[in-house]
């Protein structure tokens, strides 16, 4: 076999290795560098033909130009905690390109900064209200344009401007006018009632039924049960129920009929005692007053119901009068009273409990009839004046609504504009 060429190559490698080991270190390094240069030359020539990435060839969009004409003013008719900002769009915002994407609203207490971004708005926006300011503090503002090319700070600063509170909100003259008219009505009718001219109040069948129920209890020789609701004195319905209680106590004193008044809370209990005592005093029979007629039971809802229904079944009152605020206990009280055969008169402003009273009671005062009953039975000039003033004001509001609808139909917006508030 021809092995001569292979042996020659082996001998050449041995001689080359001996020659390299005999060179000085400097000569060896020079020889290695030359070899490396010869080896790297093809790679360098290859890299010259490799294409650059595509994104390096796309030009970066220019920075947007800032907006101009920034104007800052205090928002009128407020508490001094808002500043209205208005500006002109950046010239780059008017184009369809996305050079401007949003605006930064920057604020500072000095014209030189430091600046804090308090809000941002989308492109195409020319106004914004800064509602994070403090009253009577000077502020400086600028609006910066932001886009893919970066953020461009405004070249000018607007300010100083401060939020100032106003004593009068000029957009609420209609509210002031309505209040003045309402109080004028109330004061007029109060003065009329105090002078002896009793304003007309329509009769309510439920109010007349109270005297009828007390008369029936007197004929049967049984007591009258009066429940002034289950809420504390903070509920206006409880107040109305206690006012009616005095008139009921006056009738029971006149007819010499016992009255039972179970109460839930301590303050209504004390007031109920005074109301019953005052009713007997006004009837001319203070000696007939029984301190045990007013009973403190429990502020717990169903404990109170258990006690009152027990009175219904044991003492068998011939008349049940429910006047005040009621909740889930209304059905239990009304159904138990119906089962005993007593005549029942109820009144409440809680709409969700009215169906139970309407079904199980003989007469029911619905909603504001409860408050009208307190004014009608007591005859107190202030209550009667308030009732008549409120009724006349409702009539005036209804007329204003009808006139406003007619004017809007005719494309006349003056009344609507005057009535709008902020």
Q: Supply the CATH classification number for the domain 68-161.
A: 2.60.40.10
Of the candidate ranges 2-11, 247-256, 326-335, the one whose mean pLDDT is the lowest: 2-11
Peptide bond into 209 cis (omega under 30): no
Which architecture characterizes domain 205-378 according to CATH? 3-Layer(aba) Sandwich (3.40)
Is the Cβ–Cβ distance between 137 and 164 less than 8 Å? no
Helix (H) or strand (E) holding 294: strand 294-296
The whole-number pLDDT of residue 59 equals 65
Least confident of 191-200, 204-213, 231-240, 272-281: 191-200
**One fold for 68-161 and 205-378:** no
**Which residues touch 192 (CB under 8 Å, ≥6 apart)?**
198, 199, 385
With a cut of 70, say whether residue 288 has pLDDT above it: yes
- Spatial contact of 141 and 70, defined as CB atoms under 8 Å apart: yes
Q: pLDDT per residue over 114-171, tens digit each?
A: 999 999 999 999 999 999 999 999 999 999 999 988 898 888 899 899 999 988 888 8
Q: Are strands 319-323 and 294-296 parallel, antiparallel or unpaired?
A: unpaired
- 222-280 per-position pLDDT tens digit: 999 999 999 999 999 999 999 999 999 999 999 999 999 999 999 999 999 999 999 99
Entry pTM: 0.64
**Nearest Cα to Cα of residue 323 among 286, 361, 280:** 361
Residue 228 dihedral angles phi and psi, to the nearest 5°: -90, 40
Q: Where are the domains of the chain?
A: 68-161, 170-194+386-419, 205-378
């Amino acid at each position: 076999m021809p092995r001569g060429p292979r042996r020659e190559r082996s001998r050449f490698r041995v001689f080359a290795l001996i020659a390299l080991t005999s060179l000085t270190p400097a000569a060896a390094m020079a020889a290695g560098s030359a070899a490396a240069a010869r080896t790297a030359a093809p790679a360098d020539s290859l890299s010259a033909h490799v294409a650059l990435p595509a994104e390096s060839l796309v030009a970066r969009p220019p920075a947007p130009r800032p907006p101009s004409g920034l104007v800052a003013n205090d928002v009128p008719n407020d508490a001094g905690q808002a500043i209205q900002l208005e500006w002109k769009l950046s010239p780059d915002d008017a184009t369809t390109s996305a050079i401007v994407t949003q605006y930064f609203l920057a604020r500072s207490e000095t014209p030189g900064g430091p600046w804090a971004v308090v809000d941002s708005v989308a492109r195409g926006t020319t106004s914004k209200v800064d509602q994070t300011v403090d009253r009577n503090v000077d502020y400086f503002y600028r609006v910066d344009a932001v886009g893919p090319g970066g953020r461009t700070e405004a070249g000018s600063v607007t300010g100083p401007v401060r939020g100032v509170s106003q004593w009068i909100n000029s957009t609420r003259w209609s509210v002031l006018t309505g209040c003045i008219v309402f109080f004028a009505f109330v004061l007029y009718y109060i003065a009329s009632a105090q002078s002896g001219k009793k304003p007309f109040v329509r009769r309510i069948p439920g109010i007349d039924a109270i005297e009828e129920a007390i008369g029936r209890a007197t004929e049967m020789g049984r007591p009258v049960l009066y429940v002034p609701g289950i809420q504390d004195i903070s509920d206006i319905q409880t107040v109305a129920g206690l006012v009616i209680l005095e008139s009921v106590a006056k009738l029971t004193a006149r007819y010499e009929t016992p009255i039972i008044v179970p109460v839930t809370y301590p303050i209504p209990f004390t007031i109920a005692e005074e109301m019953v005592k005052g009713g007997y005093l006004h009837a001319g029979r203070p000696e007939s007053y029984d301190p045990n007629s007013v009973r403190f039971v429990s502020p717990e809802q169903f404990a109170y119901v258990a006690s009152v229904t027990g009175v219904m079944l044991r003492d068998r009152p011939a008349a049940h009068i429910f006047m005040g605020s009621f909740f889930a206990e209304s059905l239990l009280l009304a159904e138990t009273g119906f089962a005993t055969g007593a005549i029942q008169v109820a009144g409440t402003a809680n709409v969700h409990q009215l169906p139970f009273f309407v079904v199980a009671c003989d007469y029911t005062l619905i909603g504001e009839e409860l408050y009208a009953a307190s004014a009608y039975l007591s005859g107190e000039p202030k209550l009667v004046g308030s009732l008549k003033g409120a009724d006349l004001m409702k009539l005036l509001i209804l007329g204003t609504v009808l006139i406003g609808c007619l004017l809007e139909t005719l494309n006349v917006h003056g009344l609507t504009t005057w009535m709008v508030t902020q």
